[in-house]
Structure 1
Amino acid sequence: MNKKGYSLVEVLITLFIVSLILGAAYFTYISIFKGMKEESESVELQMEKIVGLELLRLDLEHTGYGVGKPKTTGDYRILETKAMTPRDGLLIRSTLNNTNNKTIGWVLCNNSGGNDPIRDETSAPNDNYVFIDNEGYIVATVNDGLCPNDDLLIGFPFDSASTGCDNTCTEILYYLSNTNLPSHCNKKTYNLLRKVNNSGGGNPLLSCVADFKFRVDLDTDLDNVVDLKNQQLTNSISPTDLRYQLKKIHVYILIQEGGFNPDYEFKNFNSDSDGKYIPIDGVKLYLPNTPDFKHYRWKAIKMSVKPMSIIK
């Protein structure tokens, strides 16, 4: 019987072919894994963005909600610029905090003092109310949930830990911070934090934010027509004028979408002496000042909200 084995050349050829197949499979696996990782990061950021932006929209919509006019002191500022680093923060005042059910809603009084309200549209039990008359002035603050007198009054529940409006309205501060920045974010981006009253450093609303700015539309002659559009919010305008003139709030955010991708190059930007930026409505949103910023995807977001406060 003629027994013949494999030659050395045949073995080497077989090993070469197998190595090619394994190499192709490996690179295919790496490519798929990389794509899945990028897609996972992108989906995670998209979900975070949807939730975060909706909460921001609700807070902007309720700017000045329930904030009455004091009868004996100066007016309360319902919206304010807060000087911070690297960008100014946006401070909102409202009796309503959208993450606290006890501050959501209102009650109506039209009966003798000390009685329960005739209509209760609150979301959760709360005995702390600031009552306001039909001219928008604060009549009384109670902690027993009862109508203070027999006038036609509307009451707004507030958090007992409130730090604004003589402790009757919530202060919500939006600002940028690089504390606890997720690892997939460009190292020169920030978390957009939402701080309620004195709640520590605040809670992350959005991550991987490169820039955050805000503007306002004002009706200075009170004819219900905006005559100053997209203005920087300055604290030089009086609280009373701001209450009457504020028509719309615009927020601009430049955010990273997905993680680092060495094969991708972002090109849609302009440059000036301050750096690389994306323009929107004349507002410059600056990209991170890092050599690798081009290997991330960036999106400029504009949110325009009309405050719904019923008190002027």
Structure 2
Amino acid sequence: MRKNGYSLLEILITIFIVSLILSASYFTYISIFKEMKEESESVELQMEKIVGLELLRLDLEHAGYGIGKPLNVTDDYLIIESIADDHLIIRSTLNNTDNTTIGWVLCSNNEGEPPIESELEAPNENFVFVDSEGFIYGTVNNGLCPSNSVLVGFPYSPDATGCDGFCSEIEYYLSDSNLPAHCSQGTYNLLRKVNSAIGGNPILSCVADLKFTIDLDTDDDGVVDVIGMPIDNSIAPNDLRMQLKRINVYILMQEGGFNPDYNFTKYRSDTRGNYIEINGIKLYLPDTPNFRNYRWKAIKISVKPMAIIE
């Protein structure tokens, strides 16, 4: 007859089995937690990417919006300008993050009076007026029509620094300041700066490379004949206004966080470094030992400016 209780051997076997179960549970938990963390970082970057790219697209779409032609062509304004390969300035009376600059007004035979029609997102009394031929008539800061001519007015920010003070300058550029911890070394924040603001606001993080090009119709036949030209400011402002058909942006950015078990292989190499190519444009990966432990994606945005006054 067996006495009550367990033998030492039975207790040791039980402890061993329980330890195995706990170890398996721990490693399963760690694996699930790791996957959840990577998925959370990926989702966060995806949401940031959607919002940031849409703002960039809207700014490019409104390049030249509200900017009429000066009477002297030599005084024309550059609607887009490159400072470097990864630094672009977009000029427009409309700033998509300032609703007081969104809309238009119409004047006709009512000098000194409010416009006869208006479609404004928010109140604003600062307008630049353009005549029926697209030439700049002038600006007002009282909201009233400046003449009896037929004029279209575009609201602008009183803080505008471009076009002699009536169009905003929206800058996109890369900066490595305040980079999130989940970003790979050698990546940047894509910043958006408006007019004379101190610093810019990040719209995308973990960006490895950025390029801008333009497509032109140089012979005015309605067909693009120059594709992928760098924005090098070599085209006269008036020619750029007439010929510009598309603005292309190429972005190489990180997707998700660091994963020691992942090995990124979809890249090529040349004397400058490792790159991903899209439409003949080389976008370079960070020059760091662990860049392969991140997922990378090349993105192209191609936008037709919708409101250039020709």
In structure 2, the partner of 1:81 is 82
Structural mapping, 1:269-280, within 5 Å = 269-280=267-278
Are residues 1:23 and 2:23 paired? yes
Identical columns (%): 68
SS in 1 for 2:23: helix
1:172-224 deviation per Cα after TM superposition (whole angstroms, max 9, x unaligned): 00000011100001011100000001111100000011111011001111221
In structure 2, the partner of 1:142 is 140
Distance in structure 1 (CA, Å) of the matches to 2:117 and 2:2: 104
Distance in structure 2 (CA, Å) of the matches to 1:88 and 1:285: 11
Are residues 1:291 and 2:289 paired? yes
Deviation at 1:8, TM superposition (A): 2.4
The aligned amino acid for 2:23 is: G
What TM-score does the superposition give when structure 1 sets the normalisation length? 0.97
Are residues 1:268 and 2:269 paired? no
1:122-150 deviation per Cα after TM superposition (whole angstroms, max 9, x unaligned): 11100000001112111110000011001
In structure 2, the partner of 1:175 is 173
Deviation at 1:2, TM superposition (A): 5.8
Gaps of 5+ in 2: none
1:93-138 deviation per Cα after TM superposition (whole angstroms, max 9, x unaligned): 0000000000001111112311111110111100000001112111
In structure 2, the partner of 1:191 is 189
- For the 8 Å contact 2:241–2:308, the answer to whether it is kept is no
Distance in structure 1 (CA, Å) of the matches to 2:129 and 2:41: 47
The aligned amino acid for 2:136 is: I
Aligned residues: 309
Distance in structure 2 (CA, Å) of the matches to 1:310 and 1:206: 27
SS in 1 for 2:164: coil
1:217-266 deviation per Cα after TM superposition (whole angstroms, max 9, x unaligned): 01111221111011111111111111111110000001111000111111
Deviation at 1:33, TM superposition (A): 0.5
In structure 2, the partner of 1:46 is 46
Structural mapping, 1:127-276, within 5 Å = 127-276=125-274
Gaps of 5+ in 1: none
Distance in structure 1 (CA, Å) of the matches to 2:296 and 2:117: 48
SS in 1 for 2:163: coil
Deviation at 1:6, TM superposition (A): 2.5
- For the 8 Å contact 2:67–2:308, the answer to whether it is kept is no
